[in-house]
Structure 1
Amino acid sequence: MLALPGCLRAAAFWTLVYSYCLLYACTALIKLFCSILIRPRRTFRRTPREVTPTCLNDPFLGTHCYVRIKDSGLRFHYVAAGERGKPLMLLLHGFPEFWYSWRHQLREFKREYRVVALDLRGYGETDAPSNKDNYKLDYIIVDVKEILDSLGYTKCVLIGHDWGGMIAWLIAICYPEMVTKLIVLSFPHPTVFTEYILRHPSQMIKSGYYFFFQMPWFPELMYSVNDYKILKDLFTSKSTGIRKHNFRFTNEDMEAYLYVFSQPGALSGPLNHYRNIFSCLPLKHHQVTMPTLLLWGELDAFVEVEMAELTRVYVKNYFQLSVLSQGSHWLQQDQADLVNTLIWTFLHEDRFRIKD
């Protein structure tokens, strides 16, 4: 089959993006109207959440810190555990998450690392610019670079999950000198993702929310109706939620997420990340040159496991892929013990050498 010229590929890509955006929006409207008809009072009723859940101030998870970076002037919030001066482990969360999604790793790795779980731009207690153009991936990458400098480090073990995995890949590509080892959960190399989704309608359906989020204000509305039911279902439903009984969300865990994302304007920043995803794709540079561990859930409802193996091509160093049986999309929470063990093994691995 002949490859399409670049201009035709771009036209086909954007046609798919906006067509699927319209389709997903129509589906969301139908669901909203049905909800209004069936339970009109409950649809727009929200529980007031003004008191910070106790678990977010658990001293065993670490210390709440803030740093203002020079380039943007934004103030970033992070939670740090482990002694200053130890090697840095930087944790980048996905959507819809925040620093608390790394609670099991903050406890685990502070023995040997200075572990920093960041609230990305627009999330949690980190500043959230109102203009969606302030969430371009180029800016997010620079955020992480400047935060590393502000923490007094030049290198780190970089770990990203979901959207944070996308950012981790890009940092590893753009600033390889910053990353000693790369660990990504539940997200393939960005080039694999953009090429795979065009060829596999099943993945396009699973990634439908990417296209839906291109719309202004309506996605925020849909996530907030029925007291944030969509948010609750993402982590608790049988199809997409955390599967392992020992690590299912407690009521307090769920309230922590609802507290953060129910604050005024708290959904717009996270969604604005997605509204800029197509600004830097496809990539001009692809290769990852540091040792890389990719963790994947066998039962991930959002990304197909075939993309995990395809990622190997872009890593020009030691590459380890582990697919976790019965693992969901929320691996560092769903399979915390196993994920931590695999990370420890990878960090202590001595087979790291550049491939010939």
Structure 2
Amino acid sequence: MIEAKENFNNTWPFKANFFSGNCFKQHYVDEGKENKKVILCLHGEPTWGYIYRHFIRELSKDFRVVVPDLMGFGKSETPKNKEYSLKTHVENLENLVNYLKLENIYFVGQDWGGPILGAYTLRNLKNTKGMFLINTILGYSRTDKPKELTPWFKWIKKNEDNGTLEVLLGELNTTILSIMKILNFTNSSIIDDNWIKAYASPFPNRDSCLGAINFPLDVLHGRMVPFIISCLKNADMKSFLEIPAELVYGMKDRAIDPDYAINDFKALYPNSKVTKLENAGHFSQEDEPYKIIELIKEFVSNH
């Protein structure tokens, strides 16, 4: 957990807010409150709200922008007594949204942000105005999964089989750069001491890495599947598929197969816009931030 006042040499100049209604201290940014339209951005593994720093600056000029840090990431606490699962992250989001009394939300989600906003929307259809997805997958279609694991999940499986996964993901204070390169980003010019400190600081010891250790295992072992099935069974899919959606994909992603993710999205939303970023990786917000920001502005303005 990062200190509340830490701004990483003014690269993160946003006021820290905290919500304790989920029985842990959850950090969130809430900028542009004077604006009516609400954009809520969700990060994934192993990042935090810092990945949206350019987005907050630009989008808050015209929109209210809320960016929470998931439990176990960023400036949020990493409680030992909580279950780190898709279900828990969705429930945490529901309680935060209710606390802030947010309505008609335009969600932006990358990596785990996609499944989290997807499940939230299935359970709260009337509260989602639009879904803008970045290098993520909902997985609600019948699209065939790739036969081979992606490089990221091959690495996860190999190290879990060898008994070294918790050691490597439990040392993110020193391994964060190499882990993010396995997932892949292409813009190496962004790396400096502030950048490394920002992404490494949430993980000073192994106990602080619980969230990062559990996310990939949720996928590898299919632990999130029963929760997703439950959400789908209880949802009005017709209404869900009528919610505007758009996908942006960094095609050099090594975590989620780009073709699979795009095909899954098209199966759900055949008429929705898909933008391929040929030279971006899994962390497209770092590789092509301003292009994505313009696409988000266009998406929100049109819907």
How far the C-alpha of 1:209 sits from its partner, in A, is: 4.9
The DSSP-based 3-state class of the residue aligned with 1:165 is helix
The DSSP-based 3-state class of the residue aligned with 1:328 is coil
How far the C-alpha of 1:210 sits from its partner, in A, is: 5.4
Give the distance between the partners of 1:244 and 1:175, measured in 2 at CA: 36
1:185 aligns with 2:126: no
Scaled by the length of structure 2, what TM-score is found?
0.83
Give the distance between the partners of 2:273 and 2:266, measured in 1 at CA: 8
Cα RMSD, aligned residues only: 3.2
Give the distance between the partners of 1:214 and 1:264, measured in 2 at CA: 16
1:113 aligns with 2:59: no
The 8 Å contact of residues 143 and 263 in structure 2, kept in 1 or not, is answered as no
1:313 aligns with 2:279: no
The 8 Å contact of residues 61 and 106 in structure 1, kept in 2 or not, is answered as no
Higher RCO by CA contacts (8 Å cutoff, separation 6 or greater): 2
The structure-2 alpha-carbon separation of the partners of 1:217 and 1:154, relative to structure 1 and needing over 3 Å to count, comes to: farther
Give the distance between the partners of 1:339 and 1:147, measured in 2 at CA: 26
Q: Which residue of 2 aligns with 1:279?
A: 223
Give the distance between the partners of 2:200 and 2:5, measured in 1 at CA: 10
Give the distance between the partners of 1:305 and 1:51, measured in 2 at CA: 36
Deviation string 1:105-155 (CA, Å, 9 cap, x unpaired) is 1111001112111110122332323246x2232221121111111112133
Give 1:286-301 correspondences, 5 Å limit. Answer: 287-301=240-254
2:101 to 144, 152, 156: 152
2:148 to 181, 195, 201: 201
Q: How many residues align?
A: 291
1:243 to 171, 180, 186: 186
How far the C-alpha of 1:52 sits from its partner, in A, is: 8.7
How far the C-alpha of 1:163 sits from its partner, in A, is: 1.2
Give the distance between the partners of 1:276 and 1:303, measured in 2 at CA: 14
1:339 aligns with 2:281: no
Give the distance between the partners of 1:275 and 1:223, measured in 2 at CA: 11
The structure-2 alpha-carbon separation of the partners of 1:54 and 1:139, relative to structure 1 and needing over 3 Å to count, comes to: closer
The 8 Å contact of residues 213 and 274 in structure 1, kept in 2 or not, is answered as no
Give the distance between the partners of 2:194 and 2:256, measured in 1 at CA: 28
Query: Structure 1 residues 182-191 or 101-110, which shifts more?
Result: 182-191
How far the C-alpha of 1:86 sits from its partner, in A, is: 3.0
Scaled by the length of structure 1, what TM-score is found?
0.71
2:51 to 101, 109, 132: 101
Deviation string 1:185-222 (CA, Å, 9 cap, x unpaired) is 10122235x9644x42154x542355468789842311
Gaps spanning 5+ residues in structure 1: where?
Answer: 1-48
Name which one, 1 or 2, has greater alpha-carbon Rg: 1
**Between the two proteins, what is the percent identity of the paired residues?**
18
